[in-house]
Amino acid sequence: MEWPYVLLLHGLTGAGRDHWQGWLAHELADAGATVEVPVFSDPDRPSLDVWLSELTHHLEVAPSTAKRVVVAQGLGAALWLHHAARFPADDHSLRVDNVLLVAPPGAGWHIPDVHGFVPAPLDAAGIRRAAGWTQLATGEDDAYLPVDEAVAMAAALKIDLDVIPAGGSLDTRTGYGPWPCVLEWIKNRHTRLTAVPVE
């Protein structure tokens, strides 16, 4: 198959090699895909404006001849929501094809060194300007995004939602290292996001 260009947006503190984003990057690279895994400035104490500027730069230099996919985790998902809300109506150069938002923090999430990311704007028109397809995945027991808030978020954005049983924040603490369905989703956006297989 012809792989798309994939941009992975990490959350607070970044994503280590054991995280599903690290696994995904290796799987994509091994398959011959072009995958970019930027480390945003000061990932422990992020600045929204700095991260937005860096995201814009990565989109500006992304290949324009291939399909473009963004997979964002945690604070990276909140970053994408801010980006979409500010997306210019007449500029299609930064637009991507598919976006997967994984476990964005809810409005009640608070970390002292993080300012401006939450509550993230829920701009349905901006989401459509920024990407052809956007999908949300959350754990049913995510301490930072209650299911009812995730449902309301998906409804406000007019996007699909997958709720993962016992997924928590869908990170290494709940066993989200290898996560094959995300790789399948990149191949086919109609793939439903499901829990990691039990070994």
Q: CATH code at 120? A: 3.40.50.1820
Specify if 197 maps to a domain.
no
Question: Within a domain: residue 196?
Answer: no
Residue 111: CB atoms within 10 Å? 15
Which of 125, 117, 63, 135 has the alpha carbon at shortest distance from 94? 63
Whether 117 is covered by a domain: the verdict is yes
Instruction: Give 45-101 pLDDT, tens digit per residue.
Output: 999 999 999 999 999 999 988 999 999 999 999 999 999 999 987 778 899 999 999
Q: Does 71 map to a domain?
A: yes
Is 93 among the domain residues? Answer: yes
Contact 130, 95 (CB under 8 A): yes
For residue 5 the two structure tokens come to 């260009």
Which residue, 152, 166, 156, is CA-closest to 126?
156
Cis peptide bond upstream of 119, omega within 30: yes
On whether residue 18 sits in a domain, the answer given is yes
The whole-number average pLDDT for the span 139-144 is 95
Domain-embedded: residue 125 = yes
- Could you give the number of structural domains in the chain? 1
* Domain of residue 35, residue span: 5-187
Q: Above 70 in pLDDT, residue 199?
A: no
Is the residue at 194 inside a domain? no
